[in-house]
């Protein structure tokens, strides 16, 4: 098998085997101020620690969107987040309270995030495309008391129906309503009044830091809780996998509503004191390349769907831009096709480094480490200090080449600590004692490289975002015409998978193109655009087990013209 040797990355880094042999997470802790006190704060380590050194005038955040183009030093970020910490304290927010962020990317979002952490509250970032149901589910489950949002997104927040929500801070211009029990504040006004000095809340390393809601194949989204201790992993993986160095300009295209946009869009780069570029919005190939050229981006982290779109856009557009600043590229979120890696070698003369992790792991656990040969199509090898294995249903380790369940030995520093209000669901991640089960199927080859096969459940990865079929189905059946719905991921050359919904109608409703379109829009407007099915097919009936469970796998097999497997439990 052809392998690709390291190119421009990893210059000051140990060789992979050497790194594994000498590695201890305890040593990594020594990079932080707290390894003797045991009292920590992520925001201090990410921002203030640098503001206390020569890095205080170094740019921490470059921000740009259609309207704004700004930069903030580590010192600016330290003062602004201090102010926001005071804003929160002034309205009565305390350590452990859940403070949610529901807004588009902007400097205010990053300032708020750091302010929340500085007072020891737990941050809950929400993707800006969420519609009312998605917002409600998350605020309700977390019992959030504060929400930071914008006037235009407020219409998707059913604040009068959320008994725990006490305060809403509005960022930007627009009307604040005066009805109901919730108190409204204006971000700009409160920031003007607040002091830039703040007593940081020193927390225990096991105290809650961030709550990311993510989807499974059944049930409502789960609140995955990460603690301040995650910084150990986020720091070291950003250093070795993202290969971050002092002079880098780093760009992660993910939104902080998803875990990539926090672990590696905020924490990883800032823990390493690196300049972080944030761009608002979604992108076209010209925007992507134009951004790299304009900001001289050197390390770029994106998703397979982006690289596939760039590949589809052709090589000519690449030639219109100066991409010579790029030194290291990375991809995560879905399988990165070998073909894309080869294309990357041709057009960028760089390897695109695939790596694997998930919301629950909090940080990278398997990666194409910059100093090791890459096998295109493989996710790489476990990060030093991490043990990964392919297990069968009984928990036996399988031999190289055999497909099974991708599991990680429990205990890596950024592992989820619980599922909010649902200890039982948390325990289900550990069906075999001591091992975290990812829900992915994979195999490991003779050389220890891991290869992704697919999900073990029905979870859908579409354009790098994780969607639970149950949430989409639940929304569909709320439509007056729908009796039953089943949702699958259908392979798509650019998006990885698209969402396809199969629907059976109630008596009195007729199949039509208009109704299919209406159902698409129904999900889009109530749940989220990325969760709306691209295809809706109305059928006379949906295949079910005798116990009444809709068989998504049978629909999928029919859709893809594949064998349906065992149908003995299907209702005839």
Question: Does 305 interact with ligand WT7 (rule: CB under 6 A)?
Answer: no
> Is the Cβ of residue 198 or residue 254 nearer to ligand WT7 in the bound state?
254
Region near ligand WT7 per CB under 6 A, out of 110-118, 149-157, 164-172, 433-441: 433-441
- CA–CA separation, 413 and 21 (whole Å): 18
- CA–CA separation, 483 and 540 (whole Å): 11
Query: Contact, 60 vs 276, CB < 8 A?
Result: yes
- Locate 157 and state its tokens: 């927040």
Region near ligand WT7 per CB under 6 A, out of 28-36, 280-288, 326-334, 421-429: 326-334
> Is the Cβ of residue 145 or residue 368 nearer to ligand WT7 in the bound state?
368
> Is the Cβ of residue 265 or residue 543 nearer to ligand WT7 in the bound state?
265
Work out which of 45, 137, 248, 334 binds ligand WT7, going by CB under 6 A: 334
Q: Can you say how many angstroms the Cα of residue 313 is from the centroid of all Cα atoms in its chain? A: 25
Question: Does 405 interact with ligand WT7 (rule: CB under 6 A)?
Answer: no
> Is the Cβ of residue 208 or residue 216 nearer to ligand WT7 in the bound state?
216
Question: Does 332 interact with ligand WT7 (rule: CB under 6 A)?
Answer: yes
Question: Does 335 interact with ligand WT7 (rule: CB under 6 A)?
Answer: yes
Query: Considering the complex, what minimum distance in angstroms separates the CB of residue 438 from ligand WT7?
Result: 5
Q: Which of 461, 460, 502, 457 is nearest to 483 (CA)?
A: 502
Question: Does 290 interact with ligand WT7 (rule: CB under 6 A)?
Answer: no
Q: What does each C-alpha distance from 472 to 113, 156, 215, 388, 440 come to in angstroms? A: 29, 17, 11, 32, 21
Question: Does 437 interact with ligand WT7 (rule: CB under 6 A)?
Answer: no
- 12 burial class (0-12, 13-18, 19+ CB within 10 angstroms)? exposed
State the residue for tokens 């050497």: 18
Query: Considering the complex, what minimum distance in angstroms separates the CB of residue 121 from ligand WT7?
Result: 23
Query: Considering the complex, what minimum distance in angstroms separates the CB of residue 451 from ligand WT7?
Result: 9
- CA–CA separation, 140 and 529 (whole Å): 21
Question: Does 452 interact with ligand WT7 (rule: CB under 6 A)?
Answer: yes
Work out which of 253, 305, 438, 443 binds ligand WT7, going by CB under 6 A: 438
Backbone angles phi, psi at 8, to 5 degrees: -100, -5
- Residue spans of alpha helices (H) in 221-352: 231-240, 259-262, 268-271, 285-295, 304-313, 316-319, 338-348
Q: In which region does residue 335 sit, left (phi positive, over 0), alpha (psi from -120 to 50) or beta (all else)? A: beta
Work out which of 157, 162, 379, 408 binds ligand WT7, going by CB under 6 A: 379
300 CB contacts (<8 Å, ≥6 apart)?
A: 250, 251, 253, 292, 326, 328, 329, 330
Question: Does 429 interact with ligand WT7 (rule: CB under 6 A)?
Answer: no
Query: Considering the complex, what minimum distance in angstroms separates the CB of residue 460 from ligand WT7?
Result: 9
Question: Does 359 interact with ligand WT7 (rule: CB under 6 A)?
Answer: yes
- 433 burial class (0-12, 13-18, 19+ CB within 10 angstroms)? exposed
Query: Considering the complex, what minimum distance in angstroms separates the CB of residue 287 from ligand WT7?
Result: 21
Question: Does 455 interact with ligand WT7 (rule: CB under 6 A)?
Answer: yes
Question: Does 241 interact with ligand WT7 (rule: CB under 6 A)?
Answer: no
Region near ligand WT7 per CB under 6 A, out of 53-61, 142-150, 353-361, 535-543: 353-361
| Sheet arrangement for strand 496-505 | 482-492, 496-505, 535-539
Q: Is the dihedral of CA 33, 34, 40, 42 positive or negative?
A: positive
Query: Considering the complex, what minimum distance in angstroms separates the CB of residue 258 from ligand WT7?
Result: 6
Distant-in-sequence contacts of 388-395, Cβ < 8 A, 24+ apart: 388/444, 388/450, 389/435, 389/444, 390/442, 390/443, 390/444, 391/432, 391/435, 391/437, 394/432, 395/431, 395/432, 395/433, 395/435
Query: Considering the complex, what minimum distance in angstroms separates the CB of residue 177 from ligand WT7?
Result: 33
Query: Considering the complex, what minimum distance in angstroms separates the CB of residue 485 from ligand WT7?
Result: 22
Backbone angles phi, psi at 160, to 5 degrees: -75, -10
Mask for 259-278, x = binds ligand WT7 (CB under 6 A)? xx------------------
Query: Considering the complex, what minimum distance in angstroms separates the CB of residue 452 from ligand WT7?
Result: 4
Work out which of 44, 213, 357, 369 binds ligand WT7, going by CB under 6 A: 357
> Is the Cβ of residue 97 or residue 360 nearer to ligand WT7 in the bound state?
360
State the residue for tokens 């695939």: 354
Residues 210-239 binding ligand WT7 (CB under 6 A) are: 214
- CA–CA separation, 186 and 520 (whole Å): 36
Residues 457-496 binding ligand WT7 (CB under 6 A) are: 461, 466
- Residue spans of alpha helices (H) in 365-457: 423-428
Query: Considering the complex, what minimum distance in angstroms separates the CB of residue 328 from ligand WT7?
Result: 16
> Is the Cβ of residue 224 or residue 232 nearer to ligand WT7 in the bound state?
224
Query: Contact, 134 vs 104, CB < 8 A?
Result: no
> Is the Cβ of residue 359 or residue 414 nearer to ligand WT7 in the bound state?
359
Question: Does 419 interact with ligand WT7 (rule: CB under 6 A)?
Answer: no
Query: Contact, 217 vs 470, CB < 8 A?
Result: yes
> Is the Cβ of residue 82 or residue 214 nearer to ligand WT7 in the bound state?
214
Question: Does 333 interact with ligand WT7 (rule: CB under 6 A)?
Answer: yes
Backbone angles phi, psi at 522, to 5 degrees: -60, -45
Query: Is 486 strand, coil or helix?
Result: strand
Query: Considering the complex, what minimum distance in angstroms separates the CB of residue 340 from ligand WT7?
Result: 12
Question: Does 337 interact with ligand WT7 (rule: CB under 6 A)?
Answer: no
The site that binds ligand WT7 (CB under 6 A) totals a number of residues, namely 21
Q: CA angle, corner 246, sides to 241 and 251, nearest 5?
A: 60
> Is the Cβ of residue 224 or residue 277 nearer to ligand WT7 in the bound state?
224
Question: Does 440 interact with ligand WT7 (rule: CB under 6 A)?
Answer: yes
> Is the Cβ of residue 499 or residue 505 nearer to ligand WT7 in the bound state?
499
Q: Which residues form the interface with ligand WT7 (CB under 6 A)?
A: 214, 259-260, 332-335, 354-359, 379, 438-440, 452, 455, 461, 466
């Amino acid at each position: 098998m052809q392998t690709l040797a390291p190119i421009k990355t990893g210059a000051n880094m140990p060789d992979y085997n050497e790194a594994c042999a000498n590695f201890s997470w305890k040593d990594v802790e020594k990079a932080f101020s707290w390894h003797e006190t045991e009292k920590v704060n992520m925001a201090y380590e990410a921002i203030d620690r640098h503001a206390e050194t020569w890095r205080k005038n170094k740019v921490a955040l470059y921000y740009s969107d259609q309207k704004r183009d700004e930069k903030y030093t580590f010192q600016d970020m330290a003062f602004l987040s201090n102010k926001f910490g005071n804003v929160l304290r002034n309205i009565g927010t305390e350590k452990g309270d859940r403070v949610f962020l529901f807004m588009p990317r902007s400097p205010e979002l990053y300032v708020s995030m750091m302010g929340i952490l500085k007072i020891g509250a737990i941050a809950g970032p929400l993707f800006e495309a969420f519609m009312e149901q998605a917002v409600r589910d998350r605020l309700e489950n977390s019992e959030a008391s504060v929400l930071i949002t914008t006037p235009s997104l407020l219409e998707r927040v059913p604040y009068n129906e959320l008994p725990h929500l006490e305060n809403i801070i509005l960022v930007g211009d627009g009307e604040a309503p005066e009805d109901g029990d919730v108190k409204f504040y204006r971000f700009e006004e409160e920031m003007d009044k607040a002091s830039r000095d703040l007593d940081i809340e020193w927390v225990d390393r096991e105290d809650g830091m961030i709550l990311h809601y993510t989807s499974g194949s059944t049930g409502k989204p789960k609140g995955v809780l990460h603690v301040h201790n995650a910084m150990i992993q986020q720091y070291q993986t950003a250093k070795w996998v993202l290969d971050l160095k002092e002079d880098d300009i780093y760009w992660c295209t993910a939104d902080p509503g998803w875990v990539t946009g926090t672990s590696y869009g905020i924490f990883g780069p800032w823990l390493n004191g690196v300049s972080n570029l944030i761009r608002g919005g979604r992108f076209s190939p010209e925007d992507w390349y134009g951004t790299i050229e304009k900001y001289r981006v050197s390390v770029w982290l994106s998703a397979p769907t982006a690289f596939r779109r760039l590949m589809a856009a052709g090589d000519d557009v690449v030639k219109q831009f100066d991409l010579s600043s790029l030194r290291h590229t990375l991809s995560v979120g879905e399988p990165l096709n070998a073909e894309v890696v080869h294309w990357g070698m041709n057009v960028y003369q760089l390897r695109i480094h695939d790596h694997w992790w998930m919301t629950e792991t909090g940080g990278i656990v398997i990666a194409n480490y910059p100093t090791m040969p890459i096998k295109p199509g493989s996710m790489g090898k476990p990060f030093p200090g991490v043990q990964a294995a392919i297990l069968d249903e009984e928990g036996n380790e399988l031999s190289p080449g055999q497909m099974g369940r991708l599991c990680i030995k429990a205990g890596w520093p950024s592992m989820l600590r619980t599922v909010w209000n649902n200890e039982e669901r948390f325990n289900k991640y550990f069906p075999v004692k001591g091992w975290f089960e990812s829900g992915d199927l994979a195999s490991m080859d003779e050389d220890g490289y891991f290869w992704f096969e697919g999900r073990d459940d029905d979870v859908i990865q579409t354009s790098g975002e994780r969607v639970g079929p149950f949430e989409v189905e639940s929304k569909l059946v709320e439509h007056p015409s729908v009796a039953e719905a089943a949702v699958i991921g259908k392979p798509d050359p650019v998006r990885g998978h698209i969402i396809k919904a199969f629907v059976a109608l109630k008596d009195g409703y007729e199949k039509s193109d208009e109704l299919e379109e209406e159902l698409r829009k129904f999900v889009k407007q109530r749940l989220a655009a990325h969760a709306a099915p691209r295809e809706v097919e109305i059928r006379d009936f949906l295949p079910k087990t005798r116990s009444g469970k809709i068989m998504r796998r049978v629909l999928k097999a029919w859709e893809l013209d594949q064998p349906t497997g065992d149908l003995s439990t299907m209702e005839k």
